[in-house]
Amino acid sequence: MARSRTSTTHRLHEAIRYHGFGIAAALLFLAPLAWSVLVSFKPSIEARQPPLPPWPVGGFSVQSYENLAQYGAGIWTYTGNSLIVSAATVVASVVISLFAGYGFSRFQFPLKNALFVLIISTVMIPFQSILTPLFLILTKLGLQNTLTGIVLVYVTLQLPFSIFMMRNAFDAVPKEIEDAARVDGASVFAVLYRIMLPLVLPGVATVAIFAFLASWNEFLAALILLTDQNKYTLPVLMAAVRSGQFGTIDWGAVQSGVTLMMAPCLVIFLALQRYYIRGLTAGAVK
C-alpha cells in the first residue's frame, strides 16, 4: 500500500514538473506576441512610453492601426500585394514540387540521382550572392519591378526544399498501392491525383506552409527587385514605418504592422499543424 502511494506521489510530481515546464516555456514564447498585440492597441502617445505595463492604461484604441493605414499607398494595398505574392508562390511551389517529387520517386531516367543532387545542392548558394544576376535576368525578361517577377524568384528559391520534401513523401507510400491502381487501368495522372495525392497531403501541407512563410516574410529581394511603391509588400512597408519620419518612430504603428503580419502565419500554421508534423517525418522510416 505504501509503495502504491509512493508511486502515485512520484507520478504526480513528475506530471507537475512536466506540465509546469511546458507552461513556462509556452509563456516564454507567447509573451513577445502578446506584448506586440497589446501595444498595437495603445494610443500613439502611450505606445512611445516605457513598455510596462504592456496593456493600454488609458483604454484600448485603434489609433495605431489608423496611423498605419495612412503610410504610403495604404496598408491594404501592401497587404494585397503580399497575399498575391504568397498565394502564387504557394500554388506554384506545390504544383511543381508535386510533379517533380513524383517523378524522382517513381520513374527511372538517365542521371536521375545526379540531377536530384544538383537541385538540392543549390540550397548551399547564399541568396544574397545571386541577387544581382536575378535582377539582370528579370530586367531582360521585362519582369523587373513586377509581382510576377518576385513570385518567380521566390518559387525558384523554394523549389529545392519543396522537391526534397515531396520526394520523401512519395517514397513513404508503398508502390503496391500505385501498381494496383494501374492494373485497374488508371493513367499516370489519375493515379497521382486520385490515389497518391490524398496520401501525401502532409507533405503538400508542409511545402505550402514553408512557401507561404518564406514569401510572406521575405524582405531583401522585394526591396531590391521592386521599385514602385505601390507594388511593395508588407515587410518593405514595415521597414519604412520602422525608419520613421524626421527621426521619429511611431511604435504603435510598428507593432500594429507586426500584429497584422503574424496573424496569417499563426492561422495557417495552427490550421495545418497536424499535417505539418506528419509531413516532416514522411520518409523518415522506410
**Rounded to whole angstroms, what are the CA distances from 189 to 101, 170, 192?**
14, 14, 5
pLDDT in tens, the chain (286 residues): 555 666 777 777 788 888 888 888 888 888 888 888 888 787 767 666 666 666 666 677 777 788 788 777 778 888 899 999 999 999 999 999 999 998 888 888 888 889 998 988 888 888 888 888 888 998 998 888 899 999 999 999 999 999 998 998 888 888 887 778 777 777 778 888 888 888 888 889 889 999 999 999 888 888 888 888 888 898 888 887 776 665 567 777 888 888 888 888 888 888 877 776 665 555 444 4
Is residue 40 a contact partner of residue 259, using CB atoms and an 8 Å limit?
Answer: yes
**Which SS3 state, helix, strand or coil, does residue 245 take?**
strand
- Residue 5 is predicted with a pLDDT of 64
CA dihedral 148, 152, 157, 159 (to 10 degrees): 130
Rounded to 5 degrees, what angle do the CA atoms 254, 37, 56 make? 95
Rounded to 10 deg, the angle between the 75-106 and 251-280 helix axes is 20
- Residue 49 is predicted with a pLDDT of 66
CA 265/CA 108 separation, integer angstroms: 38
**Rounded to whole angstroms, what are the CA distances from 184 to 20, 173, 174, 177, 188?**
55, 18, 17, 11, 12
C-alpha closest to that of 108 among 173, 175, 161, 165:
175
- Residue 87 is predicted with a pLDDT of 94
Domains of the chain, CATH where assigned: 2-64 (no CATH), 71-280 (1.10.3720.10)
- Residue 92 is predicted with a pLDDT of 95
- Residue 229 is predicted with a pLDDT of 84
